[in-house]
Structure 1
Amino acid sequence: MAWLRGPAAGSALLRGLLSACVLLSAVIHLDLWADGMKNTRVGDAFMINAVAGLAIGLLVLVWRHWIPLFLAAGFGASTLGAFLLSTTSSGFMGVHEEWQGFDIWACAIVEAAAIVLAVAAFLVERRSPAAR
């Protein structure tokens, strides 16, 4: 097996980190769903988030195309956006969250990182077709 070099190595590293971020968010949402969110108005959204995160995380690794990068950035932005809305005084769909706890901070960090990594991977691959 030959080691990747140059833009291809950068692309592979970025996609690996991106996949890890999306998958971690999915696992945390599945855990939160099992810990009681399934009994709330947003319970279905937590399960959908877990399943979508698993699918997107795997697609980022196996399909060298811009579409999985776009999906990963959208996943991070929409999930982080919904959480940010839930921290406002009016909440989101009846849920009011606070910036407390490992799960909250871990998800916020990996979702923000997913957005940045997806854009970075897209730019690396766009500059060098060999990176795909």
Structure 2
Amino acid sequence: MSIMGDSPAPVPPAGGDARSRPPVARGWRWVAALGVLVSAVVHVLLYVDGYDTIAVVGPLFLLNAVAGVVLAVLLVVWRHWLPLVGGIGFGALTLLAFVLSTTVGFYGVSESFAGTNELIAAGSEIVAVVASAAALLRENLR
């Protein structure tokens, strides 16, 4: 019998490092970030294209664009659940504001649900919600 013992070395847990994420969850984060970023780009383009003159909605479009860029970076860089919840909230609330503007009006702005910018933004916001939710579920069901 040896002093060191005959037992094998301890096996690390199967989950790995707490900061690592499964590749599928990482992919969903990138898709969510892309959805948020596309929405942000559309909002800054609309802001520059004339929405800057609208009293409340103009600054909200600019705020949406800046927040979208920051959130897109956080979704990829910060491996925490908060950016994922932010992606869900960003996409859902931005889409809600758009639906309100096409139905009952939003701060005096009435939009139509037609047009390239509108469809791209709405689609990217749906992608942001779905991908953020998928990543959140994937990361927390390990």
Candidates 100, 103, 128, aligned match of 1:114: 128
Q: Which amino acid aligns with 2:79?
A: R
Q: Matched residues in 2 for 1:82 and 1:97: separation?
A: 11
Q: Which amino acid aligns with 2:63?
A: I
TM alignment of 1:65-76, pairs within 5 A: 65-76=80-91
Could you list the runs of 5+ residues in structure 2 that have no partner in the other structure? 1-20
Q: Which residue of 1 aligns with 2:65?
A: 50
Q: Which amino acid aligns with 2:44?
A: L
Q: Matched residues in 1 for 2:80 and 2:110: separation?
A: 37
Q: Matched residues in 1 for 2:22 and 2:35: separation?
A: 20
Could you list the runs of 5+ residues in structure 1 that have no partner in the other structure? 1-6
Structure 1 residue 85 and structure 2 residue 116: aligned? no
Greater C-alpha radius of gyration = 2
TM alignment of 1:6-85, pairs within 5 A: 8-41=22-55, 42-85=57-100
Deviation at 1:113, TM superposition (A): 1.2
Q: If each structure's helix is expressed as a fraction of its own residues, which one has the higher value?
A: 1
What is the RMSD computed on CA atoms of the aligned residues?
A: 0.9
Query: Is the partner of 2:22 in helix, strand or coil?
Result: helix
Runs ≥4 in structure 1, deviation > 6 angstroms?
Answer: none
Q: TM-score, normalised by structure 1?
A: 0.89
How many correspondences in the alignment?
A: 121
Percent identity of equivalent pairs: 43
Q: TM-score, normalised by structure 2?
A: 0.83
